[in-house]
Structure 1
Amino acid sequence: MAPSKQTDEIKSSALDLIGNTPIVALDRLYTGPGRILAKCEFMNPGASIKCRSSLSMIQKARESGELKPGAPVVEVTSGNQGCGLAVVCAVLGHPLTLTMSKGNSVQRAIHMEALGATCIRVPQVEGTYGNVTLADVQAVEKVGLELVEKQNAYYVSQFSNPGNSDAHYETTGPEIWKQTGQHVDAFVATVGTAGTFVGTSRYLKEQDPNIKTYVVEPEGAEPIKGKPITKPLHLLQGSGYGCIPNLFKFEYMDGTLSVSDEEAVKYKNLIGEKEGLYVGYTSGANVAAAVKLLESGVLPEDAWVVTVLNDTGLKYTPVPDELQH
C-alpha cells in the first residue's frame, strides 16, 4: 500500500532531524541600525550545531570504508561534538567513547551517556570548572588517542577533519542563503574547530564576494587577530582555545570581533529575556559581536547580519554571580 499523505512527514530516524533549522530575527533584542538574524542550531536533535559536522564526518568515513559497520568510534570533545556524535552513532550502531575535560559542564556528559555513549572525564591541567584551556584540551586528547589505539577505533579528529567544515559548506551556508532570500551583508561566528565559520563563509562568499565575514574571539584569547594570549580562562566553552585551528582559512575572513565574558553573559540573558530563547555563552558572544558590528558603522545602515545560536543553555552550569552584572 502506498503511504498516505498523512505519513509523508514522518522522519525515518533522528538523522533526518539534523539541519534545516529555522532562522529568526532578533528584532526585540536589537532595534537597529540594521538587523540581526540568528540560525537556531540548538534545535538540532543533539541540541547544538555540532550535529551537522557529526553526521558529515561519520557518513564520509563510512562511505570511504575508513569506518566499518558496527566499528567503534572515539573522539575528543568539549561536549557538543560528543552529543552530536552520540546521536549519529546511536542510530547507525557504532559504540562511541568520548573524552572530555572535567572543566566542561557535567550536563554534557549526562547527555552523551543518555544516548548510549561512554564519556571519560579527564582532570584539568590548569583551568577551572567552566573554563577550559588549551593545555586541558591537550590532556584530553592524550587520553583519547590512547583509547583509539586500545580499541582499534575510528578517530573522528574534528579539529583536522575536512568533513567538519564541509558540513557547513553543504548545509548551513546554503540554508542561510535560501532563508534570507539571498540577502546577507555579513556573517559572524565564534571559532572552536573553525568548521562552522570556514564552511559557511566559504559558501556565502562564493555566492557574493561582497559579504563580510567576521570571527568572534573571547577578549584576551585572540590568536586569529594576532594578539598574545592574556586570558586563556573564559566562559566560551568549545571556542577560543588560544590557537589557530587546523581547519581555519584566513582567506574566508574579513576581520575579527572580541567579546568579553560579561558581554557574552549580558547577551545570553537578553536572548532569553527579549526573544524567549535559552542558549549558551557562545550564542551570547555571537549576538554581542553582531551588535558591535552593526553599531560600528562599517556596514550599511540597513545591513542584515547573520549569526548562529550554537547550543541550548541547558548544557551549562549557571555562571558565577559576579559575571551577572
Structure 2
Amino acid sequence: MTDLKTCPSVLEAIGNTPIIELSRIAKDLPGRIFAKAEFMNPTGSMKDRIALKMIEQAEQEGKLQPGSIVIEETSGNTGIGLAMVCAIKGYQFIAVMSAGNSPERRQILEAMGAKVELVPQTPDGKPGQVTGEDLALVEKRAREMAEEMGAFLVNQFHNPDNCLAHYETTAQEIWQQMDGKIDYFLDVVGTSGTFTGIARALKEKDPNIQCWVVEPATAAVLAGKPVTNPRHVLQGSSYAKVPDLWDPAVCDGYITVSDGEAIRSARRLATEEGLLCGYTAGGNVAAATRIAGWCDPGARIVTILCDSGMKYLSTDLFKAKG
C-alpha cells in the first residue's frame, strides 16, 4: 500500500492523479488507451493545477496582497479551482461566466464562497453550448470588472503559467507513470494550456511522441478547417478560435469528433470502465479509440479525463440514451 501523509491544506492534494488503462473500451483494438484521471483532483478537474500555479505565481510577483480581489472569466472548472485556492489563501474571488454553462458549476462556485457574475449568451445562444462569441462577452465583462474594482485578473487564456503548470506537473507525472513508453498523446484544446504544456514537455523527453489535437467536427479551427457550427458539447474547450497559448510546433496531427461520438464515449466510460466523466473526456476517449483502431499493435495512447461527470447531471449526457 502506498504511504499516505497528511496535508496541511487541500492544496497539497492537487495532482498525482492516477493513469487508468481503458482495457475494456479498447479490448478489440490494436492500440492500448491510457487515461490520466484528472477528475480526481480536489474539485474534480485538471484546472486545479493551473489555479494554484497562477495564484502562487501572482503572489511571488507581488500582484496579490492580503485582502486582494481575484477575478476570472471561466467556463466553470478553472473558476472552481480558483475558488478553492482563494478560500485557502483568503482572497475574495469573483467568477465571470456565461449563462450557457451548466448550472452545477455556478452552484459549486457559490457553495465555495465565490461570487458569480453571469453574462447572457448572444441572442441565438443555446444553454450547454458556449461559443467563442459568448466567451468574448464574458472576457469583456471580466476586464471591465477588474478595472472597476482594482482586482487581479487571472487571465487564463493569456497567462503562460497556465502552460507551465502542466509542463511542470501533469507531463512529468505522465512520463513517470508510463515509464516513458508513450506513442501518442492527445487532448482537446480550450485555453491550450494543457495540450501545449504537456506536449512541449513530452517532446523534450522523446521527440518521437505523436501529439494530436482533438477538435469538434464542426469547429476544427486549429486544423485550418471552416467553422460550420460553433455550438458543440465540448464545454470549456474548442471555442472556434486559435488561443493565445497555442503552439503548433508541438502538434503532429488533428482529429475531430462529433457531439454524438463524445456523448457515446462518455457513457461508455461510465458503464464499461466505471468512470463518470464529462463531455470533453468523452471526446478525448472517442478520438483515442479511433487512433487505437489504426495504430501499430500495442501502441500506447495517453489522453486526459478532464473533469467529473457530476457537473453535467442537469444536461442530457447521462439521460436516456438516444
With the shorter chain as reference, the TM-score category is over 0.9
The answer for the alignment partner of 1:121 in structure 2 is 118
Report how far residue 237 of structure 1 moved: 0.5
Q: Are the equivalent residues in 2 in contact too, given 1:262–1:324 (CA < 8 A)?
A: no
Secondary structure (helix, strand or coil) at the match of 1:98 reads: strand
Report how far residue 300 of structure 1 moved: 2.1
The answer for the alignment partner of 2:149 in structure 1 is 151
- TM-score normalised over the length of structure 1: 0.95
The answer for the alignment partner of 1:315 in structure 2 is 311
Distance 2:207 2:188 in 1: 21
The answer for the alignment partner of 1:41 in structure 2 is 38
Secondary structure (helix, strand or coil) at the match of 2:72 reads: strand
- Matched residues, percent identical? 47
1:70 correspondence with 2:67: yes
Report how far residue 318 of structure 1 moved: 2.3
Report how far residue 46 of structure 1 moved: 1.3
Moved over 4 A (4+): 320-323
Label 1:8 to 1:28 Cα distance change in 2 as closer, same or farther (>3 A): closer
Structural mapping, 1:1-325, within 5 Å: 9-31=5-27, 32-125=29-122, 126-295=124-293, 297=294, 299-316=295-312, 317-319=314-316, 324-325=321-322
Counterpart of 1:34 in structure 2: which amino acid? G
Deviates more, 1:60-69 or 1:246-255: 60-69
Counterpart of 2:70 in structure 1: which amino acid? V
Report how far residue 322 of structure 1 moved: 10
Distance 2:131 2:121 in 1: 9
Label 1:281 to 1:62 Cα distance change in 2 as closer, same or farther (>3 A): same
Distance 1:283 1:58 in 2: 26
Deviates more, 1:265-274 or 1:299-308: 299-308
Distance 1:30 1:20 in 2: 24
- TM-score normalised over the length of structure 2: 0.96
Report how far residue 69 of structure 1 moved: 2.8
Distance 2:223 2:4 in 1: 48
Q: Are the equivalent residues in 2 in contact too, given 1:265–1:323 (CA < 8 A)?
A: no
Secondary structure (helix, strand or coil) at the match of 2:35 reads: strand
Report how far residue 30 of structure 1 moved: 1.3
Label 1:237 to 1:8 Cα distance change in 2 as closer, same or farther (>3 A): closer
Q: How many residue pairs are counted as aligned between the two chains?
A: 317
Counterpart of 1:71 in structure 2: which amino acid? S
Deviations, residues 9-28 of structure 1 (Å, cap 9, x unaligned): 11010101110001100001
Distance 1:248 1:215 in 2: 11
Report how far residue 87 of structure 1 moved: 0.8
What root-mean-square deviation, in Å, do the aligned CA atoms of Structure 1 and Structure 2 show? 1.5
Report how far residue 181 of structure 1 moved: 1.1
Deviates more, 1:254-263 or 1:315-324: 315-324
Deviations, residues 263-298 of structure 1 (Å, cap 9, x unaligned): 000000000000111100000000000011121x3x
Deviations, residues 35-54 of structure 1 (Å, cap 9, x unaligned): 10001101111110000011
Distance 1:56 1:252 in 2: 22
Counterpart of 2:220 in structure 1: which amino acid? E
Q: Which runs of 5+ in 1 are unaligned?
A: 1-6
